[in-house]
Amino acid sequence: MTPQLRPLFLLATLLLSFLATTMSFATAAEVTVKIQTPGTGPLVTASHRYQSHVTLYIANADGTKTPSGWSTRQSDGAARDAPFAFQPGVGLIEGWSEGVLKMNEGERSWLGVPSEKGYGARSMGSQGGGGFWIPANSDLLFDIEILGKEGGAGAGTKQDL
């Protein structure tokens, strides 16, 4: 390598190193979908409204989960089964929309949402009171089952939350 090209080579190496570091931070904020039960229906799209059963947990750094106090399932503490109606991209946290768009109707999955794509630095709910609580900067874990399109067969009773 010629002496004239060394500074350029050094600059290019530093730039690539910086980009690699930046990209590794970007992947830390990815939404994950881990299938519990595969769905047999079509892929969820942003053009429809869906019914779902959901239980929300706070994902702890040690891999455990803490119930947030919000569920639409009677088996997970709700007063009765009351499906949650939603349309991807409409009034939802970014991570929810991103994750459900990777799911099929009928699918039940663990949807992992990093704080950056959830509520970020905002706390939600009522700490120590009734209802749910999500501390600021919490990574979220949703146990979500897409029941089907709203008004479709098997969609259940409507409840907007």
Q: Residues 33-88: pLDDT tens digits?
A: 999 999 999 999 999 999 999 999 999 999 999 999 999 999 999 999 999 999 99
Tokens read off for 18: 């910086």
The residue to which tokens 């709203």 are assigned:
150
In percent, the amount of the chain with pLDDT more than 90 equals: 70
CA-to-CA distance for 81 and 8, rounded, in angstroms? 64
| Structure tokens, 25 | 């931070």
- Contact by Cβ (8 Å): 107, 146: yes
- Do residues 155 and 51 lie in contact, with contact meaning Cβ atoms separated by under 8 Å? yes
**Residues 79-117: tens digit of each pLDDT:** 999 999 999 999 999 999 999 999 999 999 999 999 999
| pTM recorded for the entire structure | 0.76
Residues 6+ apart with CB under 8 A from 74: 80, 81
Residues 6+ apart with CB under 8 A from 13: none
Tens of pLDDT, residue by residue over 117-149, are 999 999 999 887 778 999 999 999 999 999 999
